[in-house]
Amino acid sequence: MNRTKIAKINGLSREKWLEIRRRYIGGSDAAAIVSLNDYSTPYTVWADKTGRLPEKPDSEAMRQGRDLEQYVAERFTDKTGKKLRRSPYMWGNTEYPFASVNIDREVIGENALFEAKTTSLLNLRKFKNGEFPTNYYVQCVHGMAVMEYEKAYLAVLVLNQGFMVYQITRRQDDRVPDWCSGSVYVSDDEIQALMDAEREFWQFVQSDTPPAFSGTQADTAALSAIYTGGSSGRVDLPGRESLIHQYRSLKERVKALETELDRCAQTLKGDLGDSEEGQAGSYLVSWKPQSRRIFDVKAFAADHPDIDLESYFKTSSFRKFDIKQIMSE
């Protein structure tokens, strides 16, 4: 067995825990590394591990997830009859020295881990027909690899709506219990492919070289958080002229596509006329009146000249990105 104890996490300060966490790829990082996380990317994980990205404060969802973990564990035991125990350690594996895992619970009497998740009604559609989010799956597979477990149980509480249990197993012939909402087989090849991807990614961290950008909003936000500006100097960008040409060409194509998109909408609106709905084959086209209320600042200021509105305005700062061609001297 290659798994090892990295640190005892009971009693650790948050600062110390974050310091240790940055030295390894954790379960929540794994899906981002293979581009299967909607909110994180290889670049944001790299920026976090190299200490560039400011630590995010706890969100309400994160706080509720932690607070309800014990409740989810109790519901799992009630539903399955399986007993759980806490693990006070952060675990590693000598075969994967770049990886770590903090498992929510161990399943007593089985070579299996337990993962608890809490989510909102807005995500209920992601749990239909035995399915569950891919990033949950990757997190469980990562934990199975590090812990050398045969199985993972994923318990999901959808607030005020339902409670589901899924299993991820290395055995193709594993029985699917009646209480199980879905069962997924993961092969040794799939597990190895994930760990190989993590190993390759870790080379970016060790060499302090950023991975390729994803083009997502997450990377845009990360760049804005890391590079806040303030330096008025001009730097050379050698070898980037072709990228700039590509950028400008794509912007022109996007503009042309937006014009064509508007033309299509205008044609359909002309067909509808005063009608709110129309049908073409299996498609329903609608053009319905909408209304919204807005606060009329000018009218309020005119009616209340004694109130200083300036103190109620909030200034937000950002960096504007632009490309323009300059004439050579």
Angular region, 268: left φ>0, alpha ψ -120 to 50, beta rest: alpha
State the pLDDT confidence band at 329, using cuts at 50, 70 and 90: low
Residue 313: predicted pLDDT? 83
Where would I find the H helices in the chain? 14-21, 27-33, 42-49, 60-67, 69-80, 134-147, 188-207, 217-226, 241-272, 297-303
Least confident range from 114-128, 149-163, 280-294, 311-325: namely 311-325
Residue 82: predicted pLDDT? 96
Asked if residue 153 lies in contact with residue 190, where contact means CB atoms within 8 angstroms, the answer is no
Question: Model confidence over 104-153: pLDDT tens digits?
Answer: 899 999 999 999 999 988 888 888 888 999 999 999 999 999 999 999 99
Question: pTM score > 0.95 for this model?
Answer: no
Question: Model confidence over 247-268: pLDDT tens digits?
Answer: 999 999 999 999 999 999 999 9
**Domain boundaries defined on the chain:** 3-221
CA distance readout (Å), 245 to 235, 236, 252: 18, 16, 11
Least confident range from 44-48, 96-100, 294-298, 318-322: namely 318-322
The identity of residue 35, as a single letter, is S
Tell me if residue 39 falls in helix, strand or coil. coil
Question: Model confidence over 201-259: pLDDT tens digits?
Answer: 999 999 999 999 999 999 999 999 999 887 878 899 999 999 999 999 999 999 999 99
Question: Model confidence over 54-110: pLDDT tens digits?
Answer: 887 778 887 888 889 999 999 999 999 999 999 999 999 999 999 999 988 999 999
* CATH code of the domain made up of 3-221: 3.90.320.10
